[in-house]
Amino acid sequence: MSENRVVLLGTKGGPAIRPGTRMPTSSLVQIDGFTVLVDAGLGCTRGLCDAGVALTDLDAIVITHLHSDHYLELGPLFHTAWTAGLNKPVPVIGPDGLDRYWQGFLASMEFDISLRLRDEGRPELAPLAEISVIAEGAQALGPLTMKVLRNAHPPIEDSFALRFDGGTCSAVISGDTAPIPEMVPFAEGADILVHEAMLSAGIEALCARVGNGDDRLRIHLERSHAPADQVGRIAQEAGVKQLALNHLVPCDDPNFTETHWRDETRRGWSGPLFIGTDGMAISLDT
């Protein structure tokens, strides 16, 4: 059986990239030989290949919410997988509205897609993405059980945390969320909790640097995201085996280093800690 693991493909919080920054959010979960992409932020296609996963080997895609840093590359991912030989439908589970994005993507690429159908004899692209609306609760996903928890990411209501349970291990992805008490029972005993995190001390500097927003950006960050020390406490209370931080905000400020992240998170968490970087692979077979 292949290794059970999580690979953090993109670990940056928010949609903007600049010279030297990480890529926005997507994560790979591989449990019991089943391969799931969670979120499809910019760079996910390259990230999958760099993680050694053929684009034709994805078994399912789950989108946690419809902020662009979590699904901007979904269409390009499918199109690229299609040109790389994808010929079976892949389930895509996400919030209501994802189908509209997919239809819009297909329409925007109509010239190229119809050309390749005629010219290269490819199968139809549209049915390869088998989109369904995500629902709270538990559902089977291949050999896994996927549990879905509505988290707290205002003003978006349809924003979710995910838990994947296999035969011998489990992984929890928080999605974008403020700290919520429900995360503790949801993540209980998991082999890994991948939780979004924010360094409160870096928020003022970040807002000053962005330059084209107003105070609403700071207010959004503070009520919709999770300070690292509180993430540590959630992991500790949930008794997870490992904690990884992703969706780091800020992550392109040289004044805030890995040490800052560790110090903040350690206020609540004493177990194995990974401050996410793009391409970081974490085994669940420990």
**CB-count burial class (<10 Å; 0-12, 13-18, 19+) for 43:** buried
Site string for Zn ion, 164-193 (x = CB under 5 A): ------------x-----------------
How far is residue 207's CA from residue 253's CA, in Å, rounded to a whole number? 11
DSSP 23: -
In the complex, what is the shortest distance from the CB of residue 111 to Zn ion, in angstroms, rounded to a whole number? 31
Residue in 67, 79, 163, 225 binding Zn ion, rule: CB under 5 A: 67
79 part of the interface to Zn ion, by CB under 5 A: no
Instruction: Rank residues 14 and 75 by Cβ distance to Zn ion and give the closer one.
Output: 14
Please name the helix (run of DSSP H) or strand (run of DSSP E) that holds residue 44, with its range, or none.
helix 44-50
Binding region for Zn ion (CB under 5 A) out of 59-67, 80-88, 126-134, 166-174: 59-67
Contacts with 40 (C-beta within 8 Å, 6 or more apart), sequence order: 26, 61, 63, 70, 71, 72, 73, 74, 77
Question: Which pair of structure tokens corresponds to residue 191?
Answer: 């082999």
Instruction: Rank residues 156 and 281 by Cβ distance to Zn ion and give the closer one.
Output: 156
Please name the helix (run of DSSP H) or strand (run of DSSP E) that holds residue 185, with its range, or none.
helix 183-187
In the complex, what is the shortest distance from the CB of residue 151 to Zn ion, in angstroms, rounded to a whole number? 10
Q: Rule CB under 5 A: which of 248-277 touch Zn ion? A: none
Size of the site for Zn ion (CB under 5 A): 3
In the complex, what is the shortest distance from the CB of residue 261 to Zn ion, in angstroms, rounded to a whole number? 17
Beta carbons of 222 and 204 less than 8 angstroms apart: no
Instruction: Rank residues 44 and 125 by Cβ distance to Zn ion and give the closer one.
Output: 44
In the complex, what is the shortest distance from the CB of residue 278 to Zn ion, in angstroms, rounded to a whole number? 15
Q: What is the DSSP string of 77-93?
A: HHHHHHHTT--S-EEEE
Beta carbons of 153 and 224 less than 8 angstroms apart: yes
Binding region for Zn ion (CB under 5 A) out of 31-39, 67-75, 110-118, 271-279: 67-75
Residue in 69, 158, 229, 264 binding Zn ion, rule: CB under 5 A: 69
**Contact positions toward Zn ion, by CB under 5 A?**
67, 69, 176
